[in-house]
Every structure is written in C-alpha cells, then in structure tokens.
C-alpha cells in the first residue's frame, strides 16, 4: 500500500472535533493541554470562550453509575466501507470520514463526521476507566452533535481499529492517507448495541454543552501493542470525569 502524508493546520476551537470543513474555525485558537499550566483545571482561564469548562452544569465525561433502565430507541448504524484520512491534530488521532455514513436514533438522523481516540477512556464505569475509547462524532442537519463511545480493552483483536492504529501520523498537523485502505465502519462496533445515554458536552475546549452521549455497554478488543502505539503518541489525553449535577443516566433495555 502507498502512504501519503501531508501537513495541514487545523483550528483547535473544537479540538478533537476539528475536521476539514464547517467545523474548522478561522485563525488559531488558544493553546491548551491535558496537563500543566494549560491543563484541564486551567482551561476556563485560557480564554473566556472556555468558561463552560469550569462552570458548565452538564459536562462530559462522567462516571457511569446507578443507571436507570429505560425504553430507549435502537441505535441504527447505516455505516458502510469508507476510505478514511487519519489526522494527528495535536491532541489525539482522528479519523475523518467521507460523507454518507449515518446514525439513526428513533426518527432523528445524524451524519458521522469523524472518530477519535482517548487513552485511558474518558468515560468511567463504576469508577473504572477502560484502556481506551473511540468517540464517533455525528452531526444532524441543525448542527447538533451526538457522540457514540466505544470502550476499548486489550485482548484478541477482532476489529478494524487495528488497521488505524498501525498507521498513526507521528507529528501534530500531519494527515495520513493509505492507498487501498478501506474501513468497514460497522465492523468497528461491538455486536451488542445496548447503551448508556446522558446529556453532556464536548470533552475538550470550549466544552460546549447540548451534546447527546451514548456509551456502548459492550467493549471492543484491540491488541496490547495497538494500545501502546497510541500511548506512545498520547500517553494521557483524557479529561477527568465531571459532576453529574442531577443528571440522570439511562440504560437501554
């Protein structure tokens, strides 16, 4: 296979949600990190636009506990095979997806824009994170976001995540395309589609709220080496869990 690399600037106003097109903002956004003086506890101090990171009442990620059983709609993934571009955006590895891949929840449709990784997982379950998580970011016709989180654990690999994690751009701003590489998007997800649902936010600055979150209860497996490959680039790119502030977490039956 032929590899193609390019360096491209991308505004980090939406950080891990940063994609080519309408999500990209004009100009450079303030610098933020996960640790140190620009780390998670200081995000709101970096720029007034990041105020929600400190004062929002429905922030993500969360520790999932005491979920209430509910008749939630089935997640219908109209995903096919795509040729992706793999981006190192300076905060994570992000896989940009061509248009035409959809998630339907009840009578509402969202288009998949990209997925990206955090290690360890940002979401905790009963106080414990997974080794990694993949966030599948969707947007509806009005620009509202819905994120499906697939928790990742080490084990016998059975998903296409291995393919992505073996082709990681090594430098911030670098985009990698691989001739002949196709991803079966539906095959990335676990067979069991039961999920936890809650209202939340972006997990990176500006921490905007109003994001619909769905965390799949069944994790997927990747090899320990694939996880190490990601951690060599980003050893800890997870925001700490945030208070629920009275929010209810529901689990599909």
Find, among 187, 111, 107, 136, the residue nearest to 17 by Cα: 136
At a CB cut-off of 8 Å and minimum separation 6, what does 71 contact? Answer: 252, 253
Q: Which residues of 177-216 are buried (b: 16+ CB within 10 A; e: fewer)?
A: bbeebebebeebbbeebebbbbebbbbbbbbbeebbbbbb
Measure Cα distances from 156 to 152, 153, 222, 223 in Å: 12, 9, 6, 6
Distance of CA 109 to the CA centre of its chain: 18
Contact indicator for 180, 92 with CB cutoff of 8 Å: no
Give the whole-angstrom CA distance, residue 185 versus residue 96. 12
Q: How many CB atoms lie within 10 A of CB 54?
A: 13
Active site residues: 91
Contact indicator for 153, 133 with CB cutoff of 8 Å: no
Q: Which residues of 107-145 are buried (b: 16+ CB within 10 A; e: fewer)?
A: eeebbbbbbbbbbbbbbbbeeebbbbbbbbbbbbeeeeb
Tell me how many degrees the CA angle 54-57-61 measures, rounded to the nearest 5: 75
């Amino acid at each position: 296979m032929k590899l193609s690399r390019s360096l491209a600037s991308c505004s980090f106003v939406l950080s891990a949600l940063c994609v080519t097109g309408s999500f990209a903002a004009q100009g450079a956004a303030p610098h933020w990190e996960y640790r140190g003086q620009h780390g998670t506890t200081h995000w709101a101090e970096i720029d007034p636009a990041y105020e929600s990171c400190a004062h929002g009442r429905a922030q993500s990620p969360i520790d999932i506990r005491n979920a209430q059983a509910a008749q939630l709609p089935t997640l219908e993934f109209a995903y096919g095979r795509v040729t992706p571009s793999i981006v190192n955006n300076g905060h994570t590895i992000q896989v940009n997806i061509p248009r035409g891949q959809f998630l339907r929840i009840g009578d509402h449709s969202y288009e998949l824009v990209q997925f990206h990784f955090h290690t360890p997982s940002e979401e905790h379950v009963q106080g414990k994170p997974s080794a990694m998580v993949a966030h599948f970011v969707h947007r509806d016709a009005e620009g509202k976001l819905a994120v499906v989180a697939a928790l990742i654990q080490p084990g016998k690999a059975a998903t296409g995540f291995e393919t992505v994690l073996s082709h990681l751009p090594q430098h911030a701003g670098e985009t990698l395309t691989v001739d002949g590489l196709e991803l079966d998007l539906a095959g990335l997800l676990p067979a069991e589609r039961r999920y936890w649902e809650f209202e939340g936010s972006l997990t990176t600055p500006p921490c905007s709220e109003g994001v619909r979150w769905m965390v799949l209860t069944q994790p997927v497996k990747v090899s320990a080496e694939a996880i190490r490959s990601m951690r060599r680039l980003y050893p800890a790119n997870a925001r700490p869990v945030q208070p629920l502030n009275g929010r209810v977490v529901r689990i599909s039956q």
